[in-house]
C-alpha cells in the first residue's frame, strides 16, 4: 500500500511553502511517494493562472504597506487570501499513486474537507460549478491545484478561525455575489491547528486508499530544504 507522509509546519512564509512543494515534486517525478505539507501562512494573497487583477480591491503597494504579500502562482482559480487561522494543505503526489484523473483528484480533497467539517457538525458541500467547499452561499474552503506531468502541487485552504476581514481586500475567487465563512463564524468548536492538520492528513490518506505515515518533524523538513538551498547556491 502507498504511504502518505505528512508534516505540520506551523506558520510558514508562502515562498518557503512553494520551495518545499517544488522540491518534493522533483522527488515525486523521480519515484518518491506522496507528501502532504500542512501549515498556515502570514497574510497573503495569491492569484491563480487565470486570475483577473481587477479582483484586487487595493493596489499591491497598499497591500504591501498593510503587510500582505501578493503572489502570482500556477494553480487554477482566481484570487484568494491566506492567513493565520486558515489551514493550508499542499499534497504533492503523482496522480498515478491515487489512480485518479484530475477531477477525481480535486473532488477527493473536497470530499476529505466535507468529511472533516461533518465531524465538527458543519454541513458543507462541494460545488464543481463554483469550485470550493460551501456552507450555504459562503465558501469555507478553496481548492486550486497545478498538475504537471501527472504530479500535483498547490492544494486547499480551510478556514478554521481565520480573520475574514482579510477577504475584504479582494473579490474572493472573482465571485461578487458570494461570501466567505469559517468554522468559528459558524459557531463550531474549532480544533487547534495541529489537531486539524492531523485529522485532515488521515482523511486525505483514507480518501485515496493510502496508509498514513508518521508525522515528519517540521525542523527536519526545513533543515533539509535549507541544506538543499545552500548546496544549490554553492554549485
List, for residues 194-215, the tens digit of each pLDDT value. 999 999 999 999 999 999 998 8
Separation CA 109–CA 158 (nearest Å): 11
Give the pLDDT of residue 176.
64
**Whether pLDDT at 51 is above 90:** no
List, for residues 173-192, the tens digit of each pLDDT value. 656 667 899 999 999 999 99
Active site residue 173: yes
- Give 73's contacts (C-beta < 8 A, 6+ positions apart): 18, 46, 47, 48, 49, 146, 154
Instruction: Read off the pLDDT of each residue in 70-98 and give the average, rounded to a whole number.
Output: 93
Instruction: Read off the pLDDT of each residue in 72-93 and give the average, rounded to a whole number.
Output: 92
* Structural domains in the chain (count): 1
Indicate the pLDDT class of residue 54, thresholds 50, 70 and 90.
confident
List, for residues 26-49, the tens digit of each pLDDT value. 999 999 999 999 999 999 999 888
Q: Report strand pairing: 3-11 vs 35-40.
A: parallel
Q: Which of 81, 173, 228, 232 is catalytic?
A: 173
Report helix angle 193-207 to 102-119, nearest 10. 130
Indicate the pLDDT class of residue 235, thresholds 50, 70 and 90.
very low
3-state class (DSSP) for residue 137: coil
Give me the CATH number covering residue 59.
Answer: 3.30.930.10
Separation CA 79–CA 7 (nearest Å): 26
Give the pLDDT of residue 233.
42
Instruction: Read off the pLDDT of each residue in 73-87 and give the average, rounded to a whole number.
Output: 90
Q: By residue range, what is the domain housing residue 9?
A: 3-234
Amino acid at each position: 500500500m502507498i504511504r502518505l507522509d505528512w508534516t505540520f509546519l506551523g506558520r510558514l512564509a508562502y515562498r518557503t511553502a512553494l520551495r518545499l512543494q517544488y522540491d518534493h515534486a522533483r522527488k515525486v517525478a523521480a519515484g518518491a511517494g506522496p507528501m502532504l505539507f500542512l501549515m498556515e501562512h502570514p497574510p497573503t494573497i495569491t492569484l491563480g493562472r487565470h486570475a483577473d487583477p481587477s479582483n484586487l480591491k487595493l493596489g499591491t503597494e497598499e497591500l504591501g504597506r498593510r503587510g500582505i504579500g501578493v503572489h502570482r502562482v500556477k494553480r487554477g482559480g482566481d484570487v484568494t487570501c491566506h492567513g493565520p487561522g486558515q489551514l493550508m494543505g499542499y499534497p504533492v503526489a503523482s496522480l498515478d499513486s491515487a489512480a485518479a484523473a484530475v477531477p477525481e483528484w480535486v473532488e477527493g480533497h473536497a470530499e476529505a474537507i466535507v468529511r472533516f467539517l461533518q465531524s465538527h457538525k458543519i454541513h458543507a458541500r462541494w460545488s464543481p460549478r463554483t469550485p470550493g467547499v460551501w456552507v450555504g452561499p459562503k465558501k469555507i474552503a478553496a481548492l486550486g491545484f497545478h498538475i504537471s506531468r501527472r504530479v500535483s502541487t498547490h492544494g486547499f485552504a480551510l478556514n478554521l478561525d481565520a480573520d475574514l476581514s482579510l477577504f475584504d481586500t479582494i473579490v474572493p475567487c472573482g465571485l461578487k455575489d458570494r461570501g466567505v465563512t469559517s468554522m468559528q463564524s459558524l459557531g463550531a468548536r474549532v480544533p487547534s491547528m495541529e489537531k486539524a492538520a492531523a485529522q485532515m492528513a488521515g482523511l486525505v490518506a483514507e480518501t485515496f486508499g493510502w496508509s498514513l505515515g508518521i508525522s515528519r518533524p517540521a525542523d527536519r523538513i526545513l533543515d533539509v530544504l535549507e541544506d538543499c538551498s545552500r548546496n544549490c547556491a554553492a554549485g
